[in-house]
Structure 1
Amino acid sequence: MIQLQHISKWFNQGGRPNFILKDINLSIGEGEFVSIMGPSGSGKSTLLHIIGMIDQPNEGSYNFMGQDVFKLKEKQRTQLHKSHIGFVFQAYHLIDELTVYENIETPLLYQDVKGTERKAMVADMLDKFNIVGKKDLFPSQLSGGQQQLVGIARALIAKPKLLLADEPTGNLNSKQGEEIMELFTQINKEGVTIIQVTHSEKNAEYGSRIINLLDGRIEKTAVPV
């Protein structure tokens, strides 16, 4: 599903390259649940953003579902991202002025899904995440855990093949965090490939593979016991 070859990302500092990622080679198969760990500044989020087509490296190649991502025109790349990738952030990134219902519906508006179909898809998500009673509330009226549930529902509404999560439980208490990770496990069982960036060893172990980054390089890969 995902093949990264010789991915490097740097910025110039005093005329010399300062590497954020250095020679990353990584393959991820469909249906995997991969956790990326590493200290702050190791390049975890940058790697996730490159996989999510939000950022581009200085060199290297990226093949996603048989397509050479960096050879696509920007419009094609945006379409590929919208059709197949959902993103969950630590800071939720919900739109304050929109209700829970409207936040979840947003990705479908960009995909020109018809009104009746949108209604059914949002209703299905509200039901799946047990937030039907919250549909007319605004993000500020929700707890952190509820906001993250809405963020995940929004990421999954367009039925992506790949879910990317950047510190998805970073702002939650341990019980809420556990619930989100159990939810991810369920989503993964339903066939969605998941890549999460996390500082938490406990959360990382929900994955089928743990990739450790250090100073922009893959230090080691492990399978949770």
Structure 2
Amino acid sequence: MILQLNNIFKWVNSGGQRIFLLKDIDLEVKEGEFISVMGPSGSGKSTLLNIIGMLDNFNEGAYNFLDEPIHKLKEKHRANIYKQYIGFVFQAYHLIDELTVYENLEMPLLYKKISASERKALVADMLDRFNIVGKKDLFPTQLSGGQQQLVGIARALITKPKLILADEPTGNLNSKQGEEIMELFKQLNNEGVTIIQVTHSEKNATYGSRIINLLDGRII
């Protein structure tokens, strides 16, 4: 079991009332699963992903990740866990505009205290795998949306995470690029990486081995 959510509630207070973003979420994810999370806008999909990725806290419930009780850990310990095991792929890329493609890819490796020669090899490998060798000295703003997304995915994968969280990973791509990304995810999943993706696309959802439907913050 890679992670377990038990009775997770998340709410915000507004005008003296609790507005629930997630209600009573129970979820177990086994290592090597490929899960698609679907549901209308505002159903809590991104909130769920952010809680799993430890970017967001919750108000009630328990979260265990690789047998660590995340809800009991201090911020710093939590951050170490997600930097070590989780790769994020966002629709909005989240690349650092002041850094070149090469430097963007190298960034997560610096956190992990990986030697310079190994960093060089890992970045070269990713540039190659994504056919972006020719783009390594460009800045994100000089790339098309599709290329930025590829760099974002390469950056998420470079640390060889156990779990990839993808929020609408093909949202800004044309259908051919989108298909390439999904095929890549499938290949990674075959190599043993656990993947949880949020998607609106029925087609993308079918790449997963299991679909979870959210409505008004609940799993239905």
TM-score (norm 2): 0.97
Q: Which residue of 1 aligns with 2:216?
A: 215
CA distance in 2, matches of 1:212, 1:159: 28
Instruction: State the percentage of identical aligned residues.
Output: 76
Give CA-to-partner distance per residue, 1:103-158, whole Å, 9 cap, x none.
10000112221111111111111111121121111112222111111101100111
Unaligned runs of 5+ in 2: none
CA distance in 2, matches of 1:56, 1:29: 22
Q: Which residue of 2 aligns with 1:78?
A: 79
CA distance in 2, matches of 1:15, 1:150: 43
Q: Which residue of 1 aligns with 2:136?
A: 135
1:94 aligns with 2:95: yes
Give CA-to-partner distance per residue, 1:57-88, whole Å, 9 cap, x none.
10000000111011111111100000000000
Q: Which residue of 1 aligns with 2:14?
A: 13
1:39-54 map, 5 Å: 39-54=40-55
**CA offset at residue 56 of structure 1?**
0.9
CA distance in 1, matches of 2:136, 2:195: 26
CA distance in 1, matches of 2:195, 2:15: 38
CA distance in 2, matches of 1:162, 1:185: 13
Deviates more, 1:187-196 or 1:7-16: 7-16
Q: Which residue of 2 aligns with 1:58?
A: 59
CA distance in 1, matches of 2:97, 2:78: 28
Q: What amino acid is aligned across from residue 120 of structure 1 in structure 2?
A: A
Q: What amino acid is aligned across from residue 92 of structure 2 in structure 1?
A: A
Q: Which residue of 1 aligns with 2:68?
A: 67
Unaligned runs of 5+ in 1: 220-225
CA distance in 1, matches of 2:126, 2:177: 19
1:110 aligns with 2:111: yes
1:184 aligns with 2:185: yes
Give CA-to-partner distance per residue, 1:142-182, whole Å, 9 cap, x none.
22111111101100111110000011111111111111111
Q: What amino acid is aligned across from residue 195 of structure 1 in structure 2?
A: I
**CA offset at residue 39 of structure 1?**
0.4
Deviates more, 1:142-151 or 1:38-47: 142-151
1:123-162 map, 5 Å: 123-162=124-163
CA distance in 1, matches of 2:19, 2:171: 27
**CA offset at residue 55 of structure 1?**
0.4
Q: What amino acid is aligned across from residue 209 of structure 2 in structure 1?
A: S
CA distance in 1, matches of 2:13, 2:138: 46
Q: What amino acid is aligned across from residue 138 of structure 1 in structure 2?
A: F
CA distance in 2, matches of 1:71, 1:51: 14
CA distance in 1, matches of 2:9, 2:32: 26
Give CA-to-partner distance per residue, 1:173-217, whole Å, 9 cap, x none.
111111111111111111110000011111111100000000000
Q: Could you list the runs of 4 or more consecutive aligned residues of structure 1 that deviate by over 4 angstroms after TM superposition?
A: none
